[in-house]
Amino acid sequence: MFPRLFTIPALDVFGTSLGPFTLHTYGLLLASAFLLGLWVAARQARRAGLDAERIVDLAVWVLIAGLVGAKLALLAVDWRYFSAHPRELLAILQSGGVFYGGLLAAFPVAWWYTRRHRIPGWPAADVLAPGVALGQAVGRQGCFAAGCCWGLPTAVPWAVTFRDTYSARTVGTPMDIALHPVQVYESVAALGIFLLLLWLAPRKRFHGQVVLTYVLLYSTARFLLELFRGDTSRGTIGPLSTSQFVAVVLVAGALVLLARVRKSQRIASSRP
């Protein structure tokens, strides 16, 4: 657990104190996740015969929308806590946010951009999906380093114990308790999904298959991973956590769309 890579002490410049300046591991890994996602999207676009420059621009818009949506969703599900502790609002900047909030915010932005620039929607979504999965794999390592999104107490041999009090102050990480490394679980799951999507992309049978497979697999994985999450203040809907409820909705939606999109494209291709 290394929430801070290094800190530059405050400097006295012409009688004015500047700093201190801290490079957070989460921020560095999040930036790396964005860059890797853009690189994969550009490569996938070229292989699919799409305009790589337009796809990268689309990816940037989607990433920005996702980042904002994730933070706003975190604020929404933890509103009671943040309204009672307004000073903790700065912690939002140092946590991963709620990924589903980012995903839901990205959809309308992607729809707007593809319509504006006449980019085929499903093929564009297919080339973006592997980059999103890889970005998640790297980004969750940032969560692990920062100590956010922690797991339940456990006695498994691979349990992790956080001891950096900086994370306890900024994101509320439990100290000196053996926890499930649920951030690593999700990182490994996302990496597996990324590799599967890369394999599927050149073999897909219809446009939209790759992105809908991503939604189906990630939502299923996230539903299961929620069983090991220890940061339980993120809201519930009935017996499910908010993320589990969204996962159920997305799995159902992905299954319906997989059948409908496949059928519609098959009918379109059979017309003279």
Measured distance CA(173)–CA(54) in Å, rounded? 40
Of residues 131 and 106, the one with the higher pLDDT is 131
In sequence order, the 6+-apart residues with CB closer than 8 A to the CB of 239 are none
Measured distance CA(208)–CA(90) in Å, rounded? 38
The mean pLDDT value for 151-163 works out to 95
What is the pLDDT, as a whole number, of residue 218? 96
Q: Where are the alpha helices (DSSP H) in the chain?
A: 25-48, 52-77, 79-84, 99-116, 121-146, 165-171, 182-200, 209-225, 242-270
Greatest Cα pair distance, the chain, in angstroms, is: 78
In sequence order, the 6+-apart residues with CB closer than 8 A to the CB of 12 are 18
The mean pLDDT value for 236-261 works out to 92
Give tens-digit pLDDT for 74-95: 666 665 655 665 555 555 555 5
pLDDT at 127 over 90: yes
Q: Are 42 and 55 in contact (CB under 8 A)?
A: yes
Q: Where are the domains of the chain?
A: 22-265
Nearest to 110 by CA among 97, 92, 122, 101: 122
In sequence order, the 6+-apart residues with CB closer than 8 A to the CB of 258 are 208, 209, 212, 213, 216
Query: Residues 193, 195, 201, 203: is their CA dihedral positive or negative?
Result: negative
pLDDT at 247 over 90: yes
Q: What is the mean pLDDT of the chain?
A: 85
| Residues forming beta bridges with residue 236, ordered by sequence position | 241
The mean pLDDT value for 26-36 works out to 88
Query: SS in 3 state form for 207-237?
Result: CCHHHHHHHHHHHHHHHHHHHHECCHHHCEE
Of residues 19 and 255, the one with the higher pLDDT is 255
Q: Are 143 and 149 in contact (CB under 8 A)?
A: yes
Give tens-digit pLDDT for 183-202: 999 999 999 999 999 999 99
What is the pLDDT, as a whole number, of residue 6? 66
Give tens-digit pLDDT for 106-118: 888 888 999 999 9
pLDDT at 15 over 70: no
* Percent of the chain's residues with pLDDT above 90: 53
Amino acid at 69: G
The mean pLDDT value for 118-143 works out to 93
